[in-house]
């Protein structure tokens, strides 16, 4: 058989498969209606196991893995469609809430606002805030929770907090507070972070015996600090560490912080760009007590807790794949008090307003134990 003849037969088979696929997916409406009538869940694990076992037994041995994968994906698409149909007229669904949070197309992200930051002047959060807002009014707090409380109580319109570093990973305390306060992420910034070692004028690098900084900065400069052979003391904030060094009577201390702290606190840079990786970025997010989605949002953040059983993460990833949604971040974290169980952070690249994202937001119930939607937003560089 010639190549053209083979391709013609493949095209014929594909046409039949497409027709059958559409007929199969159309039946999702009938399945959803029957399940809703009997108050049955969309996900029926016993039915899926039986179905996949039947597929495996009927398929030739050499094609069993491919056949199981194909029908597993088909069932995932079917479940997502059932969820979409069941939530279609539900004003309390997550997709409906997201639509209600959409700002008008002609409403830009605010240029001015009262913004809460952790630390003091010169902190990386302050630098991020001045890039995220054209003219922010900044109020400083000692802790991340102080930032969240200020936004919750209406003292500030927004908060700016770090959520992830390219070297040290996620800032788990911020994720915990986002979940606790039910806040939304409304914008993010990817900020290049260059740490510098600052001390009082006249102090040499060889004089330094103790370095102060935030734990994230310490983690990002771990190899450098090990090479110095100094004592490292964790401080609440990099800029606060610089302020402490400036006010200290000691001349054997230094701070790891931003370059701007040198002028702010009358310190000298005794070593610059000391982070272990030149590709050192921190993502900062703007948090809001009310859900807001500004025009052009393309990134969505979620936190999922999965059941402790084989295939639980696969089912989530399969759902992303079935809806053609690009995953740009996946990070796991142990759940406190639960042995060998994890929660997962996901960042998705998918424009707000697409049917795929709306379907996903309403189709997570059957693939996880619990989930939190942190919002959809634009990330700026």
Bridge pairing between strands 370-380 and 184-192: parallel
Backbone angles phi, psi at 92, to 5 degrees: -95, 0
Element (H, E) at 286: strand 281-288
Residues 6+ apart with CB under 8 A from 111: 133, 134, 135
Q: Report the C-alpha dihedral over residues 301, 305, 310, 311, rounded to 10 degrees.
A: -30
Taking the C-alpha atoms of residue 288 and residue 126, their distance in angstroms, rounded to an integer, is 17
Among 109, 141, 158, 284, the active-site one is 284
Q: What b/e readout covers 146-165, taking b as 16+ CB neighbours within 10 angstroms?
A: bbbbbbbeeebbbbbbbbbb
Bridge pairing between strands 342-349 and 281-288: unpaired
Both structure tokens of 364: 């997570």
CA distances to 37, 70, 116, 125 from 139, in Å:
53, 54, 5, 11
Among 141, 212, 282, 346, the active-site one is 282
CA distances to 41, 111, 208, 213, 283 from 271, in Å:
60, 35, 11, 15, 24
**Helix (H, G, I), strand (E, B), or coil: what is residue 73?**
helix
238 tagged catalytic: no
- The answer to whether 378 and 111 have CB atoms below 8 angstroms apart is no
284 tagged catalytic: yes
Both structure tokens of 163: 């959520």
Q: 360 pairs with which residues across the strands?
A: none
**Catalytically active residues, by annotation:** 282, 284
């Amino acid at each position: 058989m010639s190549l053209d003849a083979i391709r013609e037969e493949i095209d014929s088979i594909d046409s039949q498969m497409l027709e059958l696929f559409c007929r199969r997916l159309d039946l999702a409406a009938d399945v959803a209606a029957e399940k809703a009538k009997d108050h049955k869940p969309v996900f029926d694990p016993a039915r899926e196991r039986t179905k996949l076992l039947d597929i495996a037994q009927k398929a030739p041995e050499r094609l069993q893995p491919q056949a199981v994968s194909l029908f597993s994906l088909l069932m995932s698409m079917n479940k997502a469609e059932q969820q979409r149909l069941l939530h279609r007229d539900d004003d309390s669904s997550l997709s409906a809430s997201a639509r209600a949070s959409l700002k008008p197309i002609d409403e830009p992200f605010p240029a001015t606002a009262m913004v809460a930051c952790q630390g003091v002047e010169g902190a990386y959060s302050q630098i991020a805030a001045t890039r995220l807002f054209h003219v922010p009014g900044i109020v400083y707090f000692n802790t991340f929770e102080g930032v969240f409380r200020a936004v919750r109580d209406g003292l500030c319109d927004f908060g700016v907090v770090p959520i992830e570093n390219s070297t040290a990973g996620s800032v788990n305390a911020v994720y915990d507070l986002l979940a606790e306060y039910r806040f939304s992420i409304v914008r993010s910034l990817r900020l290049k972070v260059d740490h510098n070692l600052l001390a009082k004028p006249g102090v040499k690098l060889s004089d330094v015996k103790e370095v102060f900084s935030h734990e994230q900065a310490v983690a990002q400069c771990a190899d450098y600090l090990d090479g110095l052979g100094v004592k490292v003391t964790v401080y609440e904030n990099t800029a606060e560490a610089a302020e402490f060094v400036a006010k200290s009577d000691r001349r054997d201390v230094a701070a790891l912080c931003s370059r701007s702290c040198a002028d702010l606190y009358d310190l000298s840079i005794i070593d610059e760009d000391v982070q272990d990786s030149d590709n050192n970025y921190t993502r900062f997010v703007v948090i809001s007590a009310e859900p807001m989605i500004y025009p052009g949002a393309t990134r969505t953040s979620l936190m999922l807790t999965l059941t402790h059983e084989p295939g639980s993460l696969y089912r989530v990833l399969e759902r992303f794949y079935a809806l053609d949604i690009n995953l740009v971040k996946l990070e796991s974290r142990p759940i406190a008090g639960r042995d060998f169980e994890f929660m997962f952070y996901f960042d998705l690249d998918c424009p707000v307003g697409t049917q795929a994202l709306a379907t996903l937001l309403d189709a997570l119930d059957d693939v996880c134990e619990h989930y939190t939607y942190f919002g959809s937003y634009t990330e700026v560089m």
